[in-house]
Amino acid sequence: MPPPQPLFLSLADPASPGGPPRVLNAAGRWALQGSARSPLLAWPATEAPAAQAAAERASAARGRTVAVLARADSDAVEGRDIRLFGDAFEAALLGPAAHSEAKARRLRTEAEKLDAFCMIVRAASAAPDQQAFAQVGRAASKALQARFGGGSITSAFAWLAGPAGQAALESLLTGDIEPTGVLSIAQIIEAARLAQQAEQLRENR
């Protein structure tokens, strides 16, 4: 018989429709996965009343309905990816911890690039023929010139598949950034996968 699943706090999440729900981490943000710096906050299954009380405090502080959720994290390691809730984490219930101004700027840029490049990768991957692909390329060049001073389909795929893109995706999964456009988290993850596959094919030619 499998052990009881730990309890987490979650909320109705428009950024992750139909996908796994994001849950509260130690930085007071909503994340799909924990990290050593911002582990997910959990309660043992035997402490459901305490988890529910924490959810009510978070709901009152945030003005949004926060619910208790049982979720299995088979790859998560307690003490690294997950931490049991205690008094030291009470502030996380109230709202997200503030980033420094420099980090906030960096994260905003990460989020904007992640959204823009994922949109381009999705459009390019869905192009039915070379003519449509070329049209996507022209539109991408104009959009990237306006937003970031330059870029192309090729640079979008390379950024998303490379270290900078993977770091931005990690920031999204661990709650440091939020989606900035129309794409859901699942769609962003899929676009990153498509970019990695395309770059691997290109390198193997």
DSSP string, 2-24: PPPPPEEEEE--TTSTTSPPPEE
Start-to-end CA distance of the chain, whole Å, equals: 49
State whether 88 and 148 are in the same domain: no
Number of domains composing the chain: 2
Residue 149 pLDDT grade (very low, low, confident, very high; cuts 50, 70, 90): very high
pTM for the complete prediction? 0.87
122: containing domain: 101-204
Determine, yes or no, domain membership for 1.
no
Instruction: Give residue-wise pLDDT tens across range 67-105.
Output: 999 877 645 656 568 999 999 999 999 999 999 999 999
State whether 114 and 197 are in the same domain: yes
Instruction: Give residue-wise pLDDT tens across range 184-196.
Output: 899 999 999 999 9
Residue 14's identity, in one-letter code, is: P
**What residues does 78 pair with on adjacent strands?**
82
- pLDDT reported for residue 173: 94
d(CA 33, CA 40): 7
Which of 53, 74, 94 is where one domain is finished?
A: 94
Q: Do β-strands 66-70 and 82-84 pair in parallel, antiparallel, or remain unpaired?
A: unpaired
3-class secondary-structure state, position 41: strand
Residue 158 pLDDT grade (very low, low, confident, very high; cuts 50, 70, 90): very high
State whether 129 and 173 are in the same domain: yes
Please report, rounded to a whole number, the percentage of residues in the chain having pLDDT higher than 70.
Answer: 91
Calculate mean pLDDT across residues 59-65: 94
Which of 94, 118, 145 is where one domain is finished?
A: 94
